[in-house]
Structure 1
Amino acid sequence: MANSLQKTKLALKNIIEKIQESANKALSQADNLASISEEISASSENVTSSIQEITFGINNQSEGLMKISNFTNDFSSTLENIISSIDDVNIKIEEAASVSEEISASSEEILSLSEELNATTNDVAATTQHLKDMNDTLIELLSTFKL
C-alpha cells in the first residue's frame, strides 16, 4: 500500500507539475495575447489617427475646391459681363456708324445745295450784269435819238 500511495503521490506530483507547466504556458500565452492586444490597440489608434488626418485633408481639399469653384463662377460671371459690355459697345459703334452715314449723306446734300445756290447766285449776278449792260445800251440808244 505504501508503494501504491507512493505511485499515487508521484502521479499526483506529475499531474500538478503538468498543470503548473500548462498554467505557466497559459500565463505566458496570456502575456503574449495581452502584448499583442496592446500592439493591436496601438495600431488601431494609429489607424484612427491616420483616418482623422485623411478626413481633415479631404475636408481641406473640399474647402479648397469650393473656393476654386466659387472663384471660377465669379470669373465666369465677370467674363459674361465683359462680353455683354463688348456687345453693347459694338451696338453703339454700329449706331454711331449709322448716324455718321446719315450725317455724311446730309453733308453731301448740303454741299450739293450750296453748289446749286452758288450757281444760281452766279446766274442772277450774270443776268443782273446783262440787264445793266442792256440798260446802258438803251440809255446810249436813247441819247442818240435825243428825244
Structure 2
Amino acid sequence: MTHPPAMANEMRINSQVLGIGFLFTLKFLSGIWLTRSGKPYNAVILAVHKIISLLTVVLIAVAVRRWGRGVGMGAVEIGAIVVTGVLFLLTILSGGLLSTDRPTQAAILVVHRATPFLTVLSTAVTIYLVLQWAPQ
C-alpha cells in the first residue's frame, strides 16, 4: 500500500518529532540517573547521557534542515534556531563543567538544571515555526 506524497511527508515529520521527544525524554532520564549515581560520576552512565544528548542535537539539526530546505525562512525562524542552538551549547558546556572533578559552582548547577527545560521549550517553538514554512 502506498501513501500519497503529502501523507508520507506528514508521517515522516511526525515520526521525526516523536523521535526528538523520545530522545529528550531519554536525555532527562539519563541525567536524573547520572545525578543520583553521585560524584564521581559513573563513566558508563555519563557516556550514555552524552551520546543521547549528541544524538538529540544531530536529529534536531537534520530534521530542521530537511524541513526548511527549499523554503525561505524569516528572521523569526532563524532567530529561534539560533536561540535553540545557544541553549543546547549552554546545556552541553554546563554539563561538561559539572562532570569534572573540580568543585561545582552553584551558578553552573543552576544553569545546567534550567537550560535543558529552556532547550526543550525553544526546540518545540523552533519546530513549530519551521514547520509553518515546510511544504505540506
TM range (shorter): under 0.3
**TM-score, with length taken from structure 1:** 0.24
**TM-score, with length taken from structure 2:** 0.26
Q: Could you say which structure has the higher helix fraction?
A: 1
Higher relative contact order (CA 8 A, sep 6+): 2
